[in-house]
Amino acid sequence: MIGHSILHGGPGLSSLSPSVFSSLIGQDEEHVCLQDCPDTDLREIIQELDGDDDLSQSQTSKMNDLCLSWDLPFVNIENRRWLAEKVLVHAVLGRRREQLRQLRRGLKDSGLMPLLKERPDALNIIFPQASKIFVTPEMILDRIVWPSDSDTESDDGLDISTKCSVTAYLREYIESGTSDELLELLKFWVGWAVLPQHLYVKVKKVSMPTAVTCFEILKIPGHYLSYREFKMDLAAAVSTTDSGFGLV
């Protein structure tokens, strides 16, 4: 599915940690850092285990419950740092071993595994990291499907001059945006920081810019008379990107 997406101009599978990359291509899977663990509660437990402070009774009880569920020995003074490492590795890789096995098998069956072993830099194409994504205005503008006068879907009675005026504001917003600002716009638009094959723009009779992330549609109001007003409202809407997928 990942290869099919890439071959047809779609996104790769983003936000995998470097430790998962190493595991996929058969390198040392013990090379895991705290930032690889997405669970903040587990991070706190690992930091407490790896620290120098004495553990309280409640901390010890919480850690022992976790160790029991993961078939690890109970914590004591001698094994706490060893446990910190084991908990981290299991949290990042152990609990996902079956999924990683299937992903590794898919890479082998598709013929990508030899390429990735010879060219590890190709991992960034198939599994792009959000922290390394750099977005330019051209990358977004080239993918936009702009509204046209022939659009018949849910016609709100907006004339072509209104659509042209408002979409010009959007173009200016994109052309003047920094990479970080464009990433935030992209996350608002499609739900994550990965460029899809197409980005759709609709001009509607709505009060604020909204996004239908599953269909990669940005709906912008047609009532704006100045770029300043448009920019303020779009920036306010984009700041809600932590609300996730769906109708944002």
Q: Which of 98-102, 182-186, 223-227, 239-243 has the lowest mean pLDDT?
A: 239-243
**CA-CA distances (angstroms) from residue 218 to 191, 205, 206, 207?**
11, 13, 12, 13
CA distance 240 to 101: 36
In a domain, 248, yes or no: no
For residues 93 and 170, membership in a common domain is answered with no
pLDDT, tens digit, for every residue of 119-140? 877 777 777 776 667 889 999 9
Which of the listed residues 131, 156, 187 is the one where a domain comes to its end? 131
- Which pLDDT score is estimated for 242? 61
Cβ-based neighbours of 104, under 8 Å, separated by 6 or more? 24, 113
For range 86-101, the mean pLDDT? 90
User: What is the pLDDT of the chain when averaged over all its residues?
Assistant: 85
Q: Is the pLDDT of residue 149 over 90?
A: no
Catalytic pick from 33, 37, 67, 214? 214
For residues 185 and 85, membership in a common domain is answered with no
Q: Is the pLDDT of residue 243 over 60?
A: no
CA distance 218 to 200: 6
Q: Is the pLDDT of residue 47 over 90?
A: yes
For range 131-151, the mean pLDDT? 85
Count of structural domains within the chain: 2
Q: Is the pLDDT of residue 156 over 90?
A: no
Domain residue limits at 45: 2-131
Of residues 243 and 18, more confidence is placed in: 18
Question: Is 248 exposed, middle or buried (CB count within 10 Å of its CB: 0-12, 13-18, 19+)?
Answer: buried
Which of the listed residues 96, 131, 166 is the one where a domain comes to its end? 131
Q: Is the pLDDT of residue 148 over 90?
A: no
Neighbours of 138 (CB within 10 A): 10
For residues 124 and 142, membership in a common domain is answered with no
CATH number at residue 189: 3.30.2410.10
Q: Is the pLDDT of residue 28 over 60?
A: no
CA distance 215 to 193: 15
Kindly indicate the confidence band of residue 118, based on its pLDDT and cuts at 50, 70 and 90.
confident
Is residue 164 part of the annotated active site? The answer reads no
DSSP 215: G
CA distance 1 to 100: 14
Q: Nearest CA to 140 among 208, 187, 71, 92?
A: 187
